[in-house]
A and B are shown apart, each in its own frame.
Chain A
Amino acid sequence: MTGLIFLAAAIAMMTALAGYRGVAIGLFGVSAVAAVLWLDRYMTEPLKLSF
C-alpha cells in the first residue's frame, strides 16, 4: 500500500511536469488521503507517556 502511495505521488509529479496542474493536485490529494488513512491504521499502539 505504501508503494502505491509513492507511485501516486510520482505520477502526480510527472503529470505536473507535463503541465496538467489540476490533475496533478488531484493525484496529490489521493496520495495524501491514502497516506493519512494508512497512518491511522498503524497508530494503534498505546503511548506509554506516564512513568
Chain B
Amino acid sequence: MGQLVRLGNAAGAAAIAVILLIAFGLQFGLKELPCPLCNLQRAAFVLCGFGFLLNLRFGIQPLHYGLTLLGALFGLVASGFQALLYIAPGTAAHGAPVLGLHLYTWSLLLSFAVIAFVAVLMIFSGRPEHHNTDHQTALRFRGVSRLAAYLLIAATLANAANSFLLCGPAECSDNPTSYWISKYLPS
C-alpha cells in the first residue's frame, strides 16, 4: 500500500505540473495574458504541489498533506472569488471558455479535486513514516518520484519568469494587455 500511496503523490505532483503547463499552453495558444487573480490561482497549485513533493522526498506525513490542503484552500478562495465576480447573468466573463468552462471555474473544480485526492491518499496512507531515516527516504526518492519533482520545480520556475516578464517587480494591472518587459525591448 505504501508504494501505491507514493505513486499517488508522484501522480499528484506531476498532475500539478501538467496543470501549470496547460495554463501556459493556453496563455500562448489563445494569446490571453493571465490576470493577477489567475496568477494567484497558479500559485495556489504550486503550493499544493509542495506538499506532494515533501511526501516524495521525506516520506508520507500528515504535515505534508496539511500543506497541500492549505494550498488547495487558497486556490478555492482565489478561484471562488473570481467565479463569483462574473456569476451574475449578463456580466462579462474574463477570458475565453475552455471545454465550456472558464479557467477560474476549472481552477475551482481542480482545487476541490485536490482536496478529494488528498483525502483518498490520507485514507490509504496508514501510519506516518516518522521512523524512516532521511537516508532511507532519500534512497526511495528516485525514478518517477524524482521526475515528477523536477517537472514541478521546472513549471514553478517557468511561472516565476513568466510573472516577472508580465508584471515586473511591482503590481500587475488588473487586465494586462502586454508584457511589462515589452516596454524595455526595441520594437
- Residue numbers of A with Cβ under 8 A of B are 1-7, 9-10, 12-14, 16-17, 19, 21, 24-25, 28, 31-32, 35-36, 38-39, 42-43, 45, 47-49, 51
Contacts and interface: CB of A to CB of B under 8 A. Distances in A.
A25 B58 CA distance: 12
A10 B160 contact: yes
Pick the most buried of B57, B58, B156: most chain A CB atoms within 10 A of its CB: B156
Interface stretch (B24-32, B123-131, B161-169): B161-169
Interface residues of B, number: 48
B52 to A, nearest CB: 10
A10 B29 CA distance: 25
Interface in B148-175: 149, 152-153, 156-157, 159-164, 167, 169-172, 174
A18 B84 CA distance: 41
Given A1-B171, A12-B50, A32-B47, 20 more contacts: A1-B172, A2-B39, A2-B40, A3-B161, A4-B169, A5-B43, A7-B160, A9-B50, A10-B157, A17-B153, A31-B47, A32-B74, A35-B40, A36-B74, A38-B40, A39-B37, A39-B40, A42-B40, A43-B81, A48-B85
Interface in B54-76: 54, 57-58, 63, 67, 70-71, 74
5 contacts: A16-B54, A19-B138, A25-B63, A48-B88, A49-B84
- Report the 5 A-B pairs with minimum CB-CB distance, sorted nearest first: A3-B164, A6-B160, A3-B163, A10-B156, A2-B163
B43 A6 contact: yes
B10 interface: no
A21 B67 contact: no
B152 A13 contact: yes
Contacts of B43: 2, 5-6, 9, 31, 35
A24 B70 CA distance: 16
A47 B50 CA distance: 31
